[in-house]
Structures are given as C-alpha cells and as structure tokens.
A and B are shown apart, each in its own frame.
Chain A
Amino acid sequence: MRRTRTTGALALAATAALTLAACSDDGGTGDGEGGDEGITIGIKFDQPGLGFMEGDTPSGFDVEVAKYVANELGYSEDQITWEEAPSAQRETLLSTNQVDMIFATYSITDERREQVSFAGPYFVAGQDLLVAADNTDITGPDTLDGKNLCSVTGSTSAERIKEEYSEGVNLLEQPGYAECVTALIAGQVDAVTTDDIILAGLGAQPSNAGQVKVVGNTFSEEKYGVGLPQDSDQCEAINEAITKMIDEGAWQEALDTATEGTGYVPNADLNSPPAFEPCA
C-alpha cells in the first residue's frame, strides 16, 4: 500500500516535470531563434530611464541601445518582442532560449559568465547615491555614518554597502527602488544607493523631478553587457553595432534623453567609449 503510493507520487512528479519541460521548449522555438520572424529582447519593465514599460511602449536607454543593435542585426522595430527580464530570472531566460538577448542593467561578472555570454559593455555605470536636492552633507560613501540608506534587497549595491560601509550606516532594504525614493522624499532615509544611471533615471521621473539629485561620486564599476545564450555567435556583430551607435552620436543622444534634467554626467573616463570585453 505504502509502496504504491510513493510510486504514484513519483510518477506524478515526473509527469509534472515533463510537462514543464515541454512548455519551456515550446517557448524557445516559438519566439526565440527565428531569423525571419523576429527577435525577443529582455529588458527591465520597472526602471524609468533605462527599461520602462508604459502600456506596451518600452522606453529608456537600454531600450534605445537594444533597438539600434537589433536594427543593425537586421530586425526592424516591429519585429522585436519585448519580454520582462527581472534580475533573478535573467540567466534562466537566456539558457532556456526564452529571449535572444538581454539589455537590462546586466553587469558582466565571472559567475554569470558560467551560464551566459556577454557582448559589450555598452555602458559603464558606477554605484552612487541619490539624496534630497537640498542635501549638502552627503558627498560620497564615506559621509554616510549614522545616516539611513535605502537599497533593493538582494542587490549588488546593498551587499557592497553591507560589506564595506555597514559599520556606521543604517541600511533599509526594500523590494524596489520606487519604495526607496518614497522613503527618501518622506525624509525617513537620507540617501538611496544603486548604479548612478538608474538613480538618474529615477530622479528624471516627473513625480520626483527637482526633489532629488545624484551625488556624482561613484564607488564601483558596473559594466552593462548584452546578455546572450552561452552558445551565441553574435557577440562580435553586437559589438560592431554598439561601436557604430557611439560613433554616430545616437548613443549620446539616447543617454541624454534618459537622464534629462538631473544634471547627471556619466563617468567620462570609463565611457569614451566603453572598452569591450573579449568575446569568448
């Protein structure tokens, strides 16, 4: 009696696993790979200025670079399918071929290279601080002693603060940056931290404009790469497309639009132009 029950449970689990596998296979052949049909690109849907989805219209710097690169690879704008690529799902989306490439503030790291390939970087960001517009005593990470700082749970930024600065700083971890900015404007936290360009995008939002500013003293180097499936052969072609975009001035234009009105200037040494990583 007991035995049959266990076997039954195992059979059920196996069936479930197979069904799931079948689903993800369909997803892969359905909208991935297809040269003539189109291309599926993963972006963030919730990062104003970088990857932001309003209705079905995406906007932001990541989106502009993605459109340009896709165009160079032979896909017109209406052949692009936009998929949401939340941080925790980026590797899975690529390794199961549910998306063909990802432009989503995706920092190139060795651990990630174990699972995916990267082209680029197309931008080098740095961790920075967003503070109230009239704040003058926070000028960098060493001026945070006794201050309340907000970042997103599980993010690189929060982890760096914990490891290097948490002694004197109070770290509030929230599910998203929108909550952090709310707490900043309410005055309960003194600063919000993540990559400078993300902060600039948040600051450029109409509801926050004029109330906050980016400090402009970065303390890390985040190389935003184009995430690709591990067996992809498009790295070289994408790098060429990015080079062309920078040379033509479209890259600078997209950057200016994304961060308009925040006085944000990206780190010029690292971004003129960003040095490509080898395509391996």
Chain B
Amino acid sequence: MQEYLEILREYDVLGAFWVNIQLALWAAVFSLVLGTLLALLRISPISSLQWAGSAYVTVFRNTPLTIIMVFMVLGAWGQLNVTLSSDFNLNFFWLAVIALTVYHAAFVCEAIRSGVNTVPVGQAEAARSIGLSFLPAARLVILPQAFRGAVAPLGNVLIALIKNTTVAAAASVATETSSVMKTMIEFRPDYIYAIFFTFAIGYVILVTPVGLLTTALSRRLAVAR
C-alpha cells in the first residue's frame, strides 16, 4: 500500500485528472456555443440553413471521435500545418479541444432541439403575433424554455464529454489520464489492477456529481405545463 501511494505520487495522477477536467471545461463551453448555433440553424425557417445544420450533425455525430482526433494531428497539424499555440505541447491540447468541440457540438445541438420540442407551438405563434422575427423570438421566447427542458440531455452530453477527454491521448496530449495510465501499466505491471481501479474510481468520482446535479436541475427548472 505504502509503495503504491509512492507510485501515485511519482506519476502525478491528480495532475492527469486536472488535464482532463481542463479539456472538458473548454470543450463544454465551445460545444455549447457551437451546438446552440447549430440548433438555431436546424429550427430556422430557411431551408438551406436547416440543411447545413443537419448535414453537420449527420457528419460529426457519425464519425468516431478517435478518427477526428487522429485527423487533427495527422491531417490538420501534420499535413496542413495548423498550429494553435507556439508551445509544442499546448498546440496538441488545443487541437484536442477542437476535436472534442466539433464532435460534441453535434450532440449538444440535438439535445437543445429536443428541448425545443418541449416548447408548445403556441409559444412560437404568440411570439410571431407580437411582431418578433425569428432570431428575437428564439432568443426571448423559445430558447430560454428549450434550455430548461434540455438540462437532462445536456447533462448526458457533458458526462460523455468528460469521459471522452481520454481520447485526447490520440492527439498527443500525453499528460491526460489514459496516457498516464498506459505509462504506469507499462512500468509497474506488478500493480496493474490497483492502477486500473484508481483511474476507474477517479472517473466515477468525477462524473457522479454531474449526473446528480443535472438531474436535480432538470427537476427544478422544468417548466410546469
């Protein structure tokens, strides 16, 4: 036990979880913004915009995240020279954030659209009848109610996002948990099960509060109809 605690310190497991949390926070913010814009496209009255929104969702929801990650490194950085930071390692962190963002934005979009479906058609018609055009109606009437209805599915997307940050290993983010776990198993196979359970439990501890919080919020914020 004593020796295992030393191994945990040597490999900076807490630091690794912090990297995943940072990846998740940035990607959550960016994908919420991008996902909301996509949802607006999908519910907009202009059919070419609707088409663009659903094309995005179809492409990125159906592409495995690992492939997007590998593309960011071997394609965007490797072939097209896309550089997001002059710091070599930070560059891969941001490439990973972008990959997580474009992937999860598709799911955020669908979660918000499910929220929009909870808003009665009468609300949109009422907004129209007082002279609001599409964007003001969406901003003032539809989206605020839609978000309240979408808290639970958005929570699911966030949980998936937190766990998916481990895929950043494919984008050369070597300080995140799955990379660190791989290294630890490579060097200390004598503690393989202890190492595995440490990371598994770490994620349970990280993700459970998110689930509890969004469930509680979804109850409290639900619009009574």
Q: Could you tell me which A residues sit within 8 Å of B by CB distance?
A: 87-88, 90-92, 111-112, 114-115, 148, 153-156, 158-159, 170-175, 179, 182-183, 186, 188
Q: Chain A residue with minimal CB distance to B69?
A: A175
Cβ < 8 Å to A, chain B residues 190-207: 190, 192
Per the bound structure, the CA–CA distance linking A91 and B88 in Å amounts to: 34
| Chain B residues positioned under 8 Å from A115 (CB to CB) | 189-190, 192
B188 is an interface residue with CB less than 8 A from chain A: yes
- A154 close to B182 (CB less than 8 A): yes
B162 at the interface (CB under 8 A from A): no
Asked whether A170 and B88 contact (CB < 8 A) given A182-B74, A183-B74, the answer is yes
- For the complex with contacts A88-B182, A159-B183, A179-B70, 12 further pairs of A-B residues with Cβ separation under 8 Å are A111-B188, A115-B190, A115-B192, A153-B183, A154-B186, A159-B186, A173-B169, A173-B172, A175-B70, A179-B73, A186-B78, A186-B79
Contact A91 B78 (CB under 8 A): no
- Complex contacts, A88 vs chain B, CB 8 Å: 182, 185-186
Q: Is the CB of A154 within 8 A of B179?
A: yes
Closest partner residue, chain A, to B173 (CB atom): A173
User: With A174-B73, A175-B169, A188-B77 as given contacts, are A154 and B183 in contact (CB-CB < 8 Å)?
Assistant: yes
Which residue from chain A places its CB closest to the CB of B179 in the assembled complex? A153
Residues of chain B at interface, number, CB under 8 A: 25
Q: Which residues of A contact B179 (CB under 8 A)?
A: 153-154, 173
Chain A CB within 10 Å, residue with most, of B170, B181, B182: B182
**In the bound complex, what is the Cα–Cα distance between A182 and B169 (angstroms)?**
17
Complex CA–CA separation, A154 to B16 (angstroms)? 13
Does B33 count as interface, using CB distance less than 8 angstroms? no
For residue B174, CB closer than 8 A to chain A, the reply is yes
Contact with A183, one of B78, B81, B88, B182 (Cβ below 8 angstroms): B78
B75-107 vs A, CB cutoff 8 Å, 1 = contact: the mask equals: 001110100000011001000000000000000
Q: Out of B74, B174, B181, B188, which one reaches A158, CB within 8 Å?
A: B174
**Between-chain CB contacts (< 8 Å), 29 pairs:** A88-B182, A90-B189, A91-B192, A111-B187, A111-B188, A111-B189, A114-B189, A114-B190, A115-B189, A153-B172, A153-B174, A153-B182, A153-B183, A154-B179, A154-B183, A155-B186, A156-B186, A171-B174, A172-B92, A172-B172, A173-B174, A173-B179, A174-B73, A174-B170, A174-B172, A175-B70, A179-B73, A182-B78, A186-B78
